[in-house]
Amino acid sequence: MRRRFGIGFWLAVGWVGVVLLAALLADLLPLYRYDETLAGPPQTGPSWSHPLGTDGLGRDVLSRIVYGARVSLGVGVGAVLLGLLIGAPLGILAGYRRRAADAIIMAVNDVALAFPALVFALAVVAFAGASLRNVLIVLAVLGVPAWVRLIRGATLSFAEREFVLAARVLGTRDRRILWREIVPNVAMPAASYAFIGMAVVVVAEGSLAFLGLSVQAPTPTWGGLINEGRTLMETAPHVVLVPSVVMFLTVLSFNLVGDRLRALTDVRESGLEPVRQVTVSPMPVAEHQVRDTLLQAEDVRTHFATPRGLVKAVDGVSFTLERGRTLAIVGESGSGKSMLIRSILGLLPGSAVRGGKVYLSGDDLTARTPAEMRSVLGPRLGTVFQDPMTALNPVRTIGTQVTEPLRVHRGLGRKEAHAEAVRLLASVGIADPVRMLRRYPHQLSGGMRQRVTIAMALSCGPDVLFADEPTTALDVTIQDQVLRLLHQLREEHHMAVVLVSHDLSVVARWADEVIVMYAGKVVERGPAAEVFRRPRMPYTQALLQAAPRLSDPVHHRLREIPGRPPDLVDLPPGCSFRPRCAYAQDRCGQEAPPLVGVALANGAPVNGSGHQYACWYPRPIETAIAEGAESSGR
């Protein structure tokens, strides 16, 4: 527990405890009386007999602060408890029985927010009399709307959960559900808010006291002490500083405790917590030749240091790609295919460690700084992402977004960029490009958006186009159009295309070569038609059988791949696919199979561009599905 809360939390708890104890035991402590004038010489600083000095009338400051804590904490704890007592039942009621109660709560909320609470408190206390009881009641009542809102929200989120719905369906009585299911779950947010509420009340009471409208003299209050001390600022600043610091520390402590408790229950928070970076030694790059080719990836690795352990998202992938060719990278989600693309582009989150080399026309991209990379991203490497719904900035017009790279990279003026954008949109098959430029992304269909993102990727005439699942989020009817468009654009611009997909049968038709990835590694690769027709690795075969085909008979059962994608932190020894493989034998659990080549059907020699697989017991060619052959030709 200690580690989860952090040292600050325990210091805060300690401070609150000390102040609370001092307030409770004030009468037993060896203190001067808080109203004893001339207990020491007036306006003197800290000394042995007066650890925090004396005020203008020679009263002991420490004693006045300790007795002031009785008021501050008394009102704080009392008002919060009272507010909770009134607010919690109302909130639970509103959250559990929605509709009418909900509408009323919202209306009251509107009014409460528009109501100047502090002014109201001032007026009530002034007219009704400034006593501890009145201050406490007013601040408690003013806190009720916030309590109702909080408890209602917490109740709502639980009232919809399965276990409560199930209990309701089973006919469990409401009262029982409330006590056994809802109340325990609402308790934690309520406890966290109680501390934050105390901070709010202590500040509010201080404000009232500062204006002279809390408990009246001679009883000291923190706000009152600060107000009194103001007049002595020039001669004895400690009189105002000491209560200020005490008040600050107390409010800070309440806030801190509340915040930590909230963080415990709030799952969203944890995602935003910065991951502490663990140093990973730089990865050595295997010896290799820089080839005379457009794009060469050599032993690319992407590792993440996570709290659970090292994740090898991409673990040694190599390939080469020529102009006018399409390389498909296939695998389940989590296989590392998207990370491979991001690794090549150098667009990794800060916690990632990259290894290996990437060459563009023999030029080492991995040696470039981020600033140097920017002259390549766009002009030479274009990118299209999976979900066109999230790929465009929702608050900028299509025109602004399409013309931006033209103006940044190609230095076009406003008019030229506009004309070029119109031409680009027309080239990806958008009917009314001039009007399109004025629209916002939410006004477009998914297919249209994907066309726009493709146009943007092409705007600076890249040599390689990376398309990460470009059709996954689209309608089946649109998918084929987009892939056809990519293919046609490849021909027109004489580019190379890297096509990432989880669906082997979709890409096989448009790809020249295929790489199949599993758990960050290449498990099979080769000419697309060959891999598609004669998959050797059981995983590739399973991928093919998991995809529906039009040629399948009606009511044909899709075979899913059993098991789950592997946990990258904790990979099994040997072949990563072994736990899910129907053909696994002892050897698979001991040694990881290397990528080995097969002679092609036409007798072509085994080399880097041939058909390769990583499997100790590859599927014989006969059992591989043959019916895929018809659809693999273009």
Partner 1 sequence: MIILHRLVRLVVVLLVVTFLSYALLNLLPGDPVTQILGMSATEESREQLRRELGLDQPLFVRYLDWLGGLLTGDFGESYITRMSVGAELAERLPVTLELLIAAEIVALGLAVPLGVAAARRAGRALDQALTALSFALLSTPVFVLGVLLILIFAVTWNVLPATGWTSLSVDLGWNLTSVILPAITLGCGQLAVYARLLRTDLIATLQEDYIILARARGLSPRRIMWRHALRPSAISLITAIGLNMGALIGGTVIIETLFGLPGIGRLIVDSIFSRDYLTVQGGVVLISVGYVLVNFAVDVVYAAVDPRIRRA
Region 333-392 residues binding partner 1, contact defined as CB under 8 A = 342, 345, 347, 371, 373-379, 381, 383, 385-387, 390-392
Closer to partner 1 at the Cβ: 68 or 618?
68
Closer to partner 1 at the Cβ: 115 or 179?
115
Cα separation, 190 vs 174, in Å, equals: 21
Least separation, in Å, of the C-beta of 405 and partner 1? Answer: 5
Least separation, in Å, of the C-beta of 254 and partner 1? Answer: 8
Cα separation, 547 vs 110, in Å, equals: 53
Closer to partner 1 at the Cβ: 83 or 229?
229
Least separation, in Å, of the C-beta of 53 and partner 1? Answer: 15
Cα separation, 62 vs 17, in Å, equals: 17
Least separation, in Å, of the C-beta of 282 and partner 1? Answer: 21
In the region spanning residues 81 to 120, those forming contacts with partner 1, defined by CB under 8 A, are 107, 110-111, 113-120
Least separation, in Å, of the C-beta of 444 and partner 1? Answer: 12
Count of alpha carbons within 13 Å of 400, Cβ hemisphere only? 9
Which two structure tokens, joined as six digits, stand for 104?
A: 């009323």
List the one residue out of 399, 343, 377 whose CA is nearest residue 460.
Answer: 377
Which two structure tokens, joined as six digits, stand for 336?
A: 């590392």
CB 495, CB 463: distance < 8 Å: yes
In the region spanning residues 504 to 543, those forming contacts with partner 1, defined by CB under 8 A, are none
Closer to partner 1 at the Cβ: 211 or 419?
211
In the region spanning residues 243 to 262, those forming contacts with partner 1, defined by CB under 8 A, are 244, 247-248, 251-252, 255-256, 259
Site size with partner 1, rule: CB under 8 A: 80
- Note whether 394 binds partner 1 by CB under 8 A: yes
Helix H or strand E encompassing 204: helix 183-210
DSSP single-letter state for residue 557: P
Least separation, in Å, of the C-beta of 477 and partner 1? Answer: 23
CB 35, CB 48: distance < 8 Å: no
Closer to partner 1 at the Cβ: 241 or 598?
241
Cα separation, 299 vs 280, in Å, equals: 17
In the region spanning residues 421 to 440, those forming contacts with partner 1, defined by CB under 8 A, are 440
Closer to partner 1 at the Cβ: 242 or 584?
242
According to CB under 8 A, which one of 161, 291, 308, 396 is a site residue for partner 1?
396
CA dihedral sign, ordered 41, 45, 47, 50: positive
- Note whether 404 binds partner 1 by CB under 8 A: yes
Least separation, in Å, of the C-beta of 255 and partner 1? Answer: 5
Closer to partner 1 at the Cβ: 212 or 610?
212
Closer to partner 1 at the Cβ: 92 or 392?
392
List the one residue out of 226, 198, 202, 199 whose CA is nearest residue 212.
Answer: 226
Helix H or strand E encompassing 230: helix 222-230
Which two structure tokens, joined as six digits, stand for 131?
A: 């006593």
Least separation, in Å, of the C-beta of 23 and partner 1? Answer: 18
According to CB under 8 A, which one of 82, 139, 182, 226 is a site residue for partner 1?
226
Tokens 């979709």 identify what position?
Answer: 506
- Note whether 472 binds partner 1 by CB under 8 A: no
Closer to partner 1 at the Cβ: 221 or 576?
221
Closer to partner 1 at the Cβ: 249 or 283?
249
Least separation, in Å, of the C-beta of 114 and partner 1? Answer: 5
Closer to partner 1 at the Cβ: 408 or 561?
408
DSSP 133-188: HHHHHHHHHHHHHHHHHHHHHHHHHHHTSHHHHHHHHTT--HHHHIIIIIHHHHHH
Least separation, in Å, of the C-beta of 201 and partner 1? Answer: 12
Least separation, in Å, of the C-beta of 234 and partner 1? Answer: 5
- Secondary structure percentages of the chain, helix, strand, coil, to 5: 50, 10, 35
CB 77, CB 253: distance < 8 Å: no
According to CB under 8 A, which one of 14, 237, 589, 594 is a site residue for partner 1?
237
Cα separation, 425 vs 433, in Å, equals: 6
Least separation, in Å, of the C-beta of 483 and partner 1? Answer: 19
CB 401, CB 475: distance < 8 Å: no
According to CB under 8 A, which one of 241, 264, 598, 625 is a site residue for partner 1?
241
Least separation, in Å, of the C-beta of 24 and partner 1? Answer: 23
In the region spanning residues 205 to 224, those forming contacts with partner 1, defined by CB under 8 A, are 206-207, 210-211, 223
In the region spanning residues 268 to 287, those forming contacts with partner 1, defined by CB under 8 A, are 272-276
Cα separation, 341 vs 466, in Å, equals: 7
Q: What angle do helix axes 132-159 and 117-128 make, rounded to 10 degrees?
A: 140
Closer to partner 1 at the Cβ: 81 or 117?
117
Closer to partner 1 at the Cβ: 455 or 615?
455
The strand pairing partners of 612, in sequence order, are: 525, 597
CA dihedral sign, ordered 382, 385, 388, 392: negative
Region from 82-90, 200-208, 481-489, 576-584 binding partner 1, contact rule CB under 8 A: 200-208
Least separation, in Å, of the C-beta of 1 and partner 1? Answer: 22
Count of alpha carbons within 13 Å of 212, Cβ hemisphere only? 1
Closer to partner 1 at the Cβ: 179 or 248?
248
In the region spanning residues 121 to 160, those forming contacts with partner 1, defined by CB under 8 A, are 122-124, 126-129
Cα separation, 166 vs 164, in Å, equals: 5
